[in-house]
Structure 1
């Protein structure tokens, strides 16, 4: 094992993807089960995501799901990747994480993103619009103020039981969020691994603009992306097939579908556009045998100086996913 991998933390984010024959409730139960597996394998943290009105994703209430994950585990850190702050009132988010941190002290992470609902209809249902994402920095400052008791906008109002609790915040970013994280002195979560130049620009912006804060004295970078490890290159590729097809389908039909098996997808007669998008979706990930993925990880960590790798792999075959997690844990020397 290389020294760079040996000194890097490895964590897992599960999007609670629905699968053909496995509905939303089952997807949520699968997420809780996968968290216990990640804990047993020695992963550092396990995060869940927020998506609204997406047919292929069941995780719409990340703080609720995080509570179930934390209750089913005992040592792994648990959090959100992330709560989309523009969709919520910072006061309520503070209260929710205060409850989580009170019930599971020392184990809760508060991952925060700046996205709003994907469509106009979803944004209207949430009572938000596109411009709310531009207020992320101010919302973040308000949220942190509810936690440390410094907020002044609402005198004599307190976020209980959050006020005074130490709930580590993280900023999820693909672009502008990197500067927000730097200015706030918070850890940065950035992806994906396929857009390496864009990722590197975000990391450079973050490191160059980082201002130490009560929440972080030094920059902390978590790079996220798909990692698929198997006994052969072809087996690893097949792990990527279901998500690649879902992405291709969503971009040609306007709806993000549940995952289906690699066998079904490989038998499809795709249009030229679908085939092009599908093949593009298979490219750029860290996928292959243990030796190949080890080399890829060494390069990513060297290029980015990442302190942590957050794996975001989704696939139809859960047994193959768990096998990939085991192989990655072996590469990383977890245990």
Structure 2
């Protein structure tokens, strides 16, 4: 089972945003030493809890700081970019770091209306057409040629939920899935039926080996986002935090979805997850306030699945 990391450059209360970006590069170096297969970064715009909205720029920094690990995006959001520009950016990265660059793409728009306006987002859904155009640009069959030309196309992945799974299946593209889709065997079966022999499922999950309290900072941030509309920086875990019933429910659900605990507990829950989804790969997307505890968790997960 190949295991990888997705790092969203999570900010922390009281730290500058730059610390989150530096932390991403440092985590990538450790991930390579631990033997992880891929290290991906994300795209979120104008979100207090996320330090970087420029995945290809951060990919360049990560690739330059490492030597072997595959570097990718989880993902570039196609509604915010022209396919030609995306193909050119990852083409440059692949030319500089041959055989190491992945391109994961998604369809999410900005988190709030002001962000969507700042991104000049269009309400039209052109994801299927954009994927067709992007794949043609990557494999050299488009009417124009993205430069630099490459000997082999950059691998393309779809961050998929619901309709996106069907689109990826029809196009025969590998997918990265997480959240509620992991509990929807019919959706995964439909994707595999559509994709046929090309089907490839990477399961994304929050995995933390350590004290259960490690899951609280991210759970609280998710609860805050759902109840206040703002995804905040991580804060130290506070089991006694005062919350509304709605917030408490959101925190409890987020903690329940996190695979957290000692090695035996996490191993058992991972076995169940991978069995239910018939995953081809596992991508860990966890974060927590304590950077040292997160590094220790990454090392224990790598040892567990090695």
TM-score normalized by the length of structure 2:
0.96
Q: Which residue of 1 aligns with 2:194?
A: 209
| 1:183 correspondence with 2:170 | yes
Q: How does 1:25-36 map to 2 (within 5 A)?
A: 25-36=18-29
Counterpart CA distance in 2 for 1:103 and 1:295 is 40
CA contact (8 A) 2:161 2:181 kept: no
Q: Which residue of 2 aligns with 1:260?
A: 235
- 5+ residue gaps, structure 1: 1-7, 212-216
CA contact (8 A) 1:48 1:81 kept: yes
Q: Which residue of 2 aligns with 1:93?
A: 86
Q: Which residue of 1 aligns with 2:206?
A: 226
CA contact (8 A) 2:267 2:304 kept: yes
- What per-residue deviation string (whole Å, max 9, x for no partner) do you get for residues 164-218 of structure 1? 54200001112111111111111111112x65323x233212101115xxxxx53
Counterpart CA distance in 2 for 1:79 and 1:196 is 22
Counterpart CA distance in 2 for 1:272 and 1:151 is 53
- 5+ residue gaps, structure 2: none
What SS does structure 2 have at the residue aligned with 1:108?
Answer: coil
Paired positions, count: 306
Q: Which residue of 2 aligns with 1:332?
A: 305
Counterpart CA distance in 2 for 1:177 and 1:259 is 30
CA contact (8 A) 1:20 1:258 kept: yes
Shift of 1:162: 4.3
CA contact (8 A) 1:90 1:139 kept: yes
CA contact (8 A) 1:148 1:164 kept: no
Shift of 1:128: 1.2
Counterpart CA distance in 1 for 2:41 and 2:283 is 12
Counterpart CA distance in 1 for 2:171 and 2:288 is 35
Shift of 1:272: 2.5
| 1:148 correspondence with 2:139 | yes
How has the CA–CA distance of structure 1 residues 162 and 17 changed in structure 2, closer, same or farther, with 3 Å as cutoff? farther
Question: CA-atom RMSD, angstroms?
Answer: 1.4
Counterpart CA distance in 2 for 1:14 and 1:203 is 24
Where in structure 1 do 4 or more consecutive aligned residues deviate above 4 Å? none
Q: Which residue of 2 aligns with 1:242?
A: 217
TM-score normalized by the length of structure 1:
0.88
1:161 aligns with one of 133, 148, 160? 148
How has the CA–CA distance of structure 1 residues 119 and 162 changed in structure 2, closer, same or farther, with 3 Å as cutoff? farther
How has the CA–CA distance of structure 1 residues 38 and 163 changed in structure 2, closer, same or farther, with 3 Å as cutoff? closer
